[in-house]
Amino acid sequence: MKILQSITLLFFITTFCNCKKDFLEAKPDTSMVSPTTLADYQAMIENVDCLNRTTPGLLQMASDDYSFINYTFWQGTFFSAERNSYIWAKDLYEGQKGVKDWNVGYSSIFICNNVLEGLDQIAITDLNRKQYNNLRGWAFFMRSYALYDLVRSFSPVYDSQTASTDLGMPIRLKPGIDKIEHRSTLQETYDQIFSDLAASSVLLLPVVDADYKERPSKVAAMALYARIYLSMGKYDQAEQFADSTLNLYPALMDYNNADTLQSIPFTMNTTETILYFTVVPNYYNIINTADYNDAVTINPSLYNLYDTNDLRKSIYFGMNMQTGSLYVKHGYAGAYPNPFTGLATDEIYLIKAECLARRNQTANAMTVLNALLINRYKTGKFIPLQAISQQDALNKVLLERRKELVWRSLRWSDLKRLNKEGANITLQRILNGVTYTLPPHDPKYVFPIPDEEIALSGIPQNIR
Amino acid sequence: MNDNKRCIVSLNTTILLLALLFFGTASFAQQITINEHNISLEKALKRVRSQSGYGFVFDRNDFKGTHMIDIDLKNVSVEEAIRSVLIEQPLTYSIKNKVVIVKSKSRNTPLRTVMVKPVTVNVVGLITDESGKGLSGVTITVKNTLESTETSETGIFAIKNVEDKATLVVTCLGYEPKKVIATKKPVNLKMVSAIKTLSEVHIISTGYQFIPKERATGSFVLIDSALLNRKVSTNILERLDGVTPGLLFNKNAMGNTPEISIRDRSTISANANPLIVLDNFPYDGDISNINPQDVKSITILKDAAAASIWGARAGNGVIVITTKTGSYNQKPLINFNSNVTFGSKPNQYYLPQLTNREYIDIEQFLFNKGRYNSKISSGYMFLSPAVETMLQRRNNVITDAREAAMLDSIAGHDNRADLNTYFYRESLNQQYQLNANGGGRYNKYYISLGYDNDLASNVTNSSSRFTVNANNTLSLLKDKVQFLTGIMFTSSNNNVKGSGYQPLYPYENVAGANGQALAVTDGTLRLIYADTAGAGKLLDWHKRPLDELNESYYHSISRLTDYKLNLGVNYKVIPNLTLSLNYTYDKGFNETSEDNSQESYYTRNMINSLSQIDPVSGAVKRPLPLGDIISNNNNSFYSHYVRAQTNYENRISNKHAINVIAGYEIKAYQSSQNYATLYGYNPATAMNLNSTINPLQDYTYYYNSGTTRIPVSMGNAGTIDRYISYYTNGSYTYDQKYIITASARKDESNIFGVKSNQKGVPLWSTGFSWNIDKEDFYNFSPLPYLKLRATFGYNGNVDKTTAAYLTTQIYNGGNIWGQPVLLISNPPNPSLRWEKVRNTNFAIDFGTKNNRLTGSLEYWTKSGIDLIGLSPIAPQTGISIFKGNSANTLSKGIDFTLTSVNIILPQFRWMSTFLFNYNTDKITRYKVKQGSNGDIVHANYVSPLEGYSYYSIFSYKYLGLDHNGNPQGLLNGQVSEDYSGISNSTNASELAYSGTSTPKYFGSVRNSFTYKCWELSFNIIYKLGYFFRRPSLSNYTLYQGNGTTASYQQADFDVRWQKPGDELITNVPSLIYPGKQIRDFLYTYSDILVEKGDHLRLQDIQLNYQLNKNKFKRLPFSSISLYLYAANLGIIWKAAAKKIDPDYPTSAPAPRTISLGLKANF
């Protein structure tokens, strides 16, 4: 009868102790979390593989830094987008699915929107205010960063004359997936980017976290402002934010302290890094750093720009002993194979120098440039640069910009911007006897939106 | 199954005599003690009955005029007690087979007067089945009159005033009719089953109650033990294949296809498997834990009325497995069953493959194209033996002639011979089972021991299983209380001793001339690199597949243990009302341990890959320490089920019968998992060196500048599944003609992120059946059994991977900074609802005279409502695949069963069973817009098109080859070679629809012959009206996938386009370099590669020989039989011309097996 008693007991307990609610509240899976706490939201936004890797690989692949070693290698690329980017083909994807260049940016925005909506449910207290504000700023910042990475790839360069009619990006500010956003104008897209940046800059912690470079700070917000304004050709604002950045965080690294023989010369927390970002975690063999990528070689014309005393020549590039081809070594992304595209002080020094040159502050421009370059040359071998004219200063700054920021996915934006200002740079590639050219202002400077997005949302495609 | 078990129906209350019945055995204590004053005779007899367990038959009329008695008996025998009670009464008695028949003395006195009327007698009797058990519902008709009666629940009947010597016709469906002459002597008649297999199962189990099939309105299928035992297998569910109407074993599956589907599908992405119930409760363990020898019968619940009792989990149908129990009052029976099954080696030559020469030619071509240059220049990347030879030639190390000779030698070796010799064997499976069962007056028991041993066709794989199953039922307090206890224990081991092997090249050679192990490339490193890397400082870096077969290099053992404890109590409060309480505790664990010893290639490679040699000191640094690599993975689960149930049963007059159950049940299931990988493990000391590993450190590979981190896999996980359910189920029968059933159920579950009031779903069903043959107007004698049934109702399904709120999943290991990360697993979905399936079923059951033909025809429909489906969604939302209530489906079909007794002769019988199923399914609503045609042809099931089946096969319309051998498709009405345009097109009308990948018509024809002691049966299954996609040549895989099995296991290489003009004779595109996937896809997914799957297959043959007991009287067996069983015998006919088994287009078919077995009863 004991069994009967115990069963009856169990039965009555479960029936009548009114614990039914708790009983059914149990999580079906221990690894399932419905985020509610600040720690939960922080863990969502620490998703580096999504949030800190939004830069489209197309930017680097279409740029003029490299060549395929031969036609066979070109033919043998794994994905269509790799082959087609190289020759600026009309259809980059040829049916390729899950194009991360587009998708990851929007996944990042989706996470940010979820975090922002979730934070609205949490009451701010004295105890949590600092973390709360920082998280909120973090989400605003990442949303603006992702949207800028998208707009600089899939929309034309900013032009205040046409920005209110040019097609921008779909702007998504809510996590709900049931609504499809249409393409905003380019002006609206930039407005949104700046509004998020403005919101983040007052919320984020003011200092760069030396051990966690994936986390944005106020410094990063200033630096991103500077980068975006520069790309828009708004040099006053660009200089102003470059100053704000460098006031807060002027650190540079002396490359004499780096091991030029190391295949991984830097860690992912380098001093110069303001914020860690890379190209989307992708398949692109072309842009992966390190020597096992032997399908492409860095153009000798680029490589030969570096002086023999320039440490960057051996820190940035390696030579494949068997083929003699040049590859890009690991940079500020540490051991991660996809290249660094984030914000670092070297870029800000170059922005500052360029803006100074543009407003004819020739000497000051050279001072800022030399402050950077002294750290890039073998000790005692650097001869400070001098400019004889405004144009000379600008040319020198732009040359150093090209050399310093190689493989950082900035070249494409620079080409768009400089061509708009009349630089008249025509890109050319010869493949299997066929010459491909990309004249300035060509619509192929704007990448097509992936087919899946067009098919499923019906937003207009870019005309190439 | 035919519903011909009417004899069990025990509703007959029209008995003129009150029959009080009971059976007992000699084992019962026969000591009667009664001390009563002034009680009626009837009451006194009842006392004797209750103490003796004997059955009593008497006519109350005979007791008229008897006087009250005093009685004082102490420990007397039954007969003595009866004598004492009847003393001085005008009554006499007789005892037979523990039934006491009490009669008026006067009726025994011969009539002296010549009556005008014919002499009449009152006939009483007992009708039993072959085993001597009382048979209910047997009709006894007085020949040439309208007088008839039926036997009661225990097989007793009485019929009054029958003409003496009149003929009584005794009939019962499923039994041979018999005749007896009416006399005063009680009749004791044993019925003989008309058709052996039809007599064995009468009762279906829903898991909640056992009900006579006659009382059911729903669609149940019963598979009895005879049919289950026809096949030989270690897995119980396999035995349902080909013998169960409405149940399909899916072989060539696509998408979310369950192994077994009952009546097509009614879900998109939620669990599509039927619910498996073991005795009372859903079974949470591994189905392979159940020893088929312990199973008595299986009931398949197909429609709403049948399955809705299982509510939200019954959407895919329910399979109720009922295990064996003992019987009351039965002497112990011991059964022994053993068999051994031999299986042939898997056919290595089944899949088409390029010849070695052809493959080397491809490699030569790629070599000349420079395809291997980067690998060659890397210095370390793997090259095939043929390419190494070509390289030697290019480097002028060897001459042309030498190269040709070497390539010839390479081409001369077929790796499939190595696989056959060293890696595969004939499988051998042994099964033994011993059980004992029986029972006394108060209890019944069953106990069994089983042992299975299996040597798989892979030489490395073997398994064994040990099962113990014991149950006991105790009947107490005059059968008012029954205690049920049971335990099932299973322990099984799956062993892998040595590593398997997958050749990278068709000519790969693993054994030298003397059988010594040869090194092959592992798909990463070049052999000559492995020869010299580290100059002896590193561990040997070669992979030798034959050595890897060594058990000491690699072994894994997976120990599966499962305990299941059942407790139950039934309490009969009043005769009509029973309360029952059931409890089951199931606990299972699976401990898997894998050991890659330091000798194994796996471990050597991992250690070497991360090693660094200091260029100055030459010291070797090993971030991954020397020693074995061990992976342990422990899974365990437990579940508690508690159920409280009320059963109410009542008959009001002889017209109304009510049967209602209502109950409440709770399930609490929890599973947990923990796993760990240990590096530098020393088996002697059980110590590991994990503490020396830094999981956040990036280590550079020895052979290139790539980096990796050491995966420190360690963690735990768990799931919780909880249900609270309320249910009721009732039936009302009027006059045995009309039956109405109804059920309702509410399930509540711990669905994540849903408010309490949305956690539940109410589901209901109702049914009606009409026994037309019982109507007065029905007198169609060729069809004496005819019943109509109809049901309607809802089942459900739940997908616990979705949630209404934003949910996230912990990302193991965190980000590269080691920070915790939550990944979004579910976007917020506030409109999430339970899936519902609306069922209707119409059925006719029939039986012709003498049951020569019996069968049933069922028509069913199932509508899936609010099904959870995956849909592509614009990537701008942040996700590209969305899961939600996005679909409705409609499936319908016909299940038809016909059993025919073709020939019955005294020593020979021929029976046939024919099963026919028709089913179709259709997606009727799909919320989200479809993607491109490429999506549709690749995987339509991900987001199925409205108006078509989930299993639809869509293809590109193929317009042949152009004069360059390029495949041509259709785009915007034009012949096109714009492959991405064709793939990206959203104009679905330019696709070809072939049909479904699951058969529209399927079933089986089973014939069995019995001659004397021999029984032979064979089953032919058929599947018709479906299609499959035949693999053909893929340019891309051939060139890009070079060095993989898929690159050389290709068909149609020899018939590809090679020169202009070939386009007139072939559809196989030319090879282009480099291969373009999108160009391949047009051909791979074209309509010309879709083949008809229709086929007829000889599934199995069984031969059984029952030893004639009379000839072997000295043997201790009461019966012994020997059997032979052969399965997977092959295709008899198929529609497709190609030499390919439609069930196995991409893998070798299940090997033929032959089993020898022995069954003995003691």
Q: What is the pLDDT of residues B819-862, one digit of tens each?
A: 989 998 888 777 777 888 899 999 999 999 888 999 999 999 99
Nearest CA in chain B to A22: B750
As a whole-number percent, the residues of chain B with pLDDT over 70 amount to: 93
Residue B536 per-residue DSSP state: G
- Of residues A341, A319, A335, A337, the one with CA closest to residue A274: A341
Cross-chain residue pair A264–B929, CB shorter than 8 Å: no
| Dihedral angle computed from the Cα positions of residues B299, B302, B305 and B307, in that order, rounded to the nearest 10 degrees | 70
* Least-confidence region, from B199-203, B1051-1055, B1083-1087: B199-203
B880 contacts chain A (CB < 8 A): yes
**pLDDT greater than 70 at residue B29:** no
Average pLDDT along chain B: 86
Question: For residues B79 and B76, what is the distance between their CA atoms, to the nearest angstrom?
Answer: 8
Chain A nearest C-alpha distance from B1049 (Å): 21
**pLDDT greater than 70 at residue B1004:** yes
Q: Let me know: does B368 contact B360? Beta carbons within 8 Å.
A: no
Residues in Cβ contact with B244 at an 8 Å cutoff, skipping those fewer than 6 apart: B221, B223, B300, B915
Residues of chain B numbered 721-760 and touching chain A (CB < 8 Å): 721-722, 724, 748-753, 756, 759
Q: What residues of chain A score a pLDDT lower than 50?
A: 1-2, 13, 16-18
pTM above 0.90, yes or no: no
- Of residues B719, B740, B735, the one with CA closest to residue B670: B719
pLDDT category, B981, cuts 50, 70, 90?
A: confident
Question: For residues B305 and B311, what is the distance between their CA atoms, to the nearest angstrom?
Answer: 10
Name the residue facing B875 among A21, A32, A102 (closest C-beta).
A102
How many other C-beta atoms are found inside a 10 Å radius of the C-beta of residue B533?
A: 22
Q: Let me know: does A353 contact A387? Beta carbons within 8 Å.
A: no
Per-residue confidence (pLDDT) for residue B827, from 0 to 100: 85
- Of residues B139, B98, B130, the one with CA closest to residue B9: B139
Q: What is the pLDDT of residues B660-692, one digit of tens each?
A: 999 999 999 999 999 999 999 998 998 999 988
Q: Let me know: does B740 contact B767? Beta carbons within 8 Å.
A: yes
Give mean pLDDT, residues B450-455.
Answer: 95
Residues of chain B numbered 502-531 and touching chain A (CB < 8 Å): none
Answer left, alpha or beta for residue B951, where phi above 0 means left and psi between -120 and 50 means alpha: alpha
Nearest CA in chain A to B986: A455
Residue B68 per-residue DSSP state: P
Chain B interface, mutation test: which of A7, A8, A456, A457, most B Cβ atoms within 10 Å? A456
Name the residue facing B815 among A73, A214, A320 (closest C-beta).
A214
Question: For residues B919 and B1002, what is the distance between their CA atoms, to the nearest angstrom?
Answer: 9
**Three-state SS letters, A266-306:** CCCCCCCEEECCEECCCCCCCCCCCCCCCCEEECHHHHCCC
Listing DSSP states for B79-110 in one string gives HHHHHHHHTTSSEEEEEETTEEEEEEHHHHSP
Residues in Cβ contact with A393 at an 8 Å cutoff, skipping those fewer than 6 apart: A356, A357, A362, A365, A366, A387
Per-residue confidence (pLDDT) for residue B201, from 0 to 100: 41
**pLDDT greater than 90 at residue B358:** yes
A264 contact residues in B (CB cutoff 8 A): 698, 700, 705, 707
**pLDDT greater than 50 at residue B60:** yes
Q: Let me know: does B319 contact B298? Beta carbons within 8 Å.
A: yes
Per-residue confidence (pLDDT) for residue B52, from 0 to 100: 75
Q: Is B191 helix (H, G, I), strand (E, B) or coil?
A: coil
Name residue, tokens 């879900």: B267
pLDDT category, B902, cuts 50, 70, 90?
A: very high
- Of residues B635, B234, B228, the one with CA closest to residue B467: B234
pLDDT category, B930, cuts 50, 70, 90?
A: low
Backbone angles phi, psi at B757, to 5 degrees: -75, -5
* Least-confidence region, from B63-77, B380-394, B910-924, B1068-1082: B63-77
Per-residue confidence (pLDDT) for residue B106, from 0 to 100: 59
CA distances to A391, A395, A445 from A410, rounded to whole Å, are 22, 17, 13
Q: Is A395 helix (H, G, I), strand (E, B) or coil?
A: helix
- Count CB pairs under 8 A between chains A and B: 255
Chain B nearest C-alpha distance from A414 (Å): 26
pLDDT category, B758, cuts 50, 70, 90?
A: low
Cα angle value B796/B801/B802 (rounded, 5°) = 80
Name the residue facing B1074 among A43, A76, A290 (closest C-beta).
A76
B666 contact residues in A (CB cutoff 8 A): 14, 23
Highest mean pLDDT among B43-52, B393-402, B714-723: B393-402
- Of residues B809, B810, B807, B811, the one with CA closest to residue B826: B807
Cross-chain residue pair A20–B724, CB shorter than 8 Å: yes
Cross-chain residue pair B807–A32, CB shorter than 8 Å: yes
Per-residue confidence (pLDDT) for residue B736, from 0 to 100: 84
Cross-chain residue pair B874–A29, CB shorter than 8 Å: no
Q: Let me know: does B910 contact B923? Beta carbons within 8 Å.
A: no
Per-residue confidence (pLDDT) for residue A55, from 0 to 100: 96
Cross-chain residue pair A29–B1078, CB shorter than 8 Å: no
Question: For residues A30 and B693, what is the distance between their CA atoms, to the nearest angstrom?
Answer: 27
Question: For residues B160 and B16, what is the distance between their CA atoms, to the nearest angstrom?
Answer: 7
Name residue, tokens 């089951």: B584
Q: What is the pLDDT of residues B78-106, one digit of tens each?
A: 778 887 777 777 777 877 767 777 777 65
Cross-chain residue pair B717–A291, CB shorter than 8 Å: no
Give mean pLDDT, residues B469-477.
Answer: 92
Residues in Cβ contact with B535 at an 8 Å cutoff, skipping those fewer than 6 apart: none
Per-residue confidence (pLDDT) for residue B268, from 0 to 100: 81
Tokens of B376: 């060659």
Nearest CA in chain A to B808: A33
Name residue, tokens 């944005």: A216
Residues of chain B numbered 961-1020 and touching chain A (CB < 8 Å): 979-980, 983-984, 986
**pLDDT greater than 60 at residue B498:** yes
Q: Give the ranges where B974-1094 is alpha helix by DSSP (H).
A: 979-984, 1035-1040, 1045-1048, 1077-1084
Chain B nearest C-alpha distance from A58 (Å): 17
pLDDT category, B991, cuts 50, 70, 90?
A: very high
Question: For residues A108 and B1069, what is the distance between their CA atoms, to the nearest angstrom?
Answer: 42
As a whole-number percent, the residues of chain B with pLDDT over 90 amount to: 48
- Residue B410 has, within 13 A of its CA and on its CB side, a CA count of 24
Nearest CA in chain A to B879: A107
Question: For residues B677 and B812, what is the distance between their CA atoms, to the nearest angstrom?
Answer: 14
Question: For residues B227 and B1011, what is the distance between their CA atoms, to the nearest angstrom?
Answer: 18
Q: What is the pLDDT of residues B591-625, one digit of tens each?
A: 999 999 999 999 999 999 999 998 888 899 999 99
Name the residue facing A451 among B750, B822, B932 (closest C-beta).
B932
Per-residue confidence (pLDDT) for residue B844, from 0 to 100: 95
Q: Let me know: does B335 contact B1161? Beta carbons within 8 Å.
A: yes
Sign of the torsion angle spanned by Cα atoms A311, A316, A322, A323:
negative
Q: Is A153 helix (H, G, I), strand (E, B) or coil?
A: helix
ipTM of the complex: 0.91
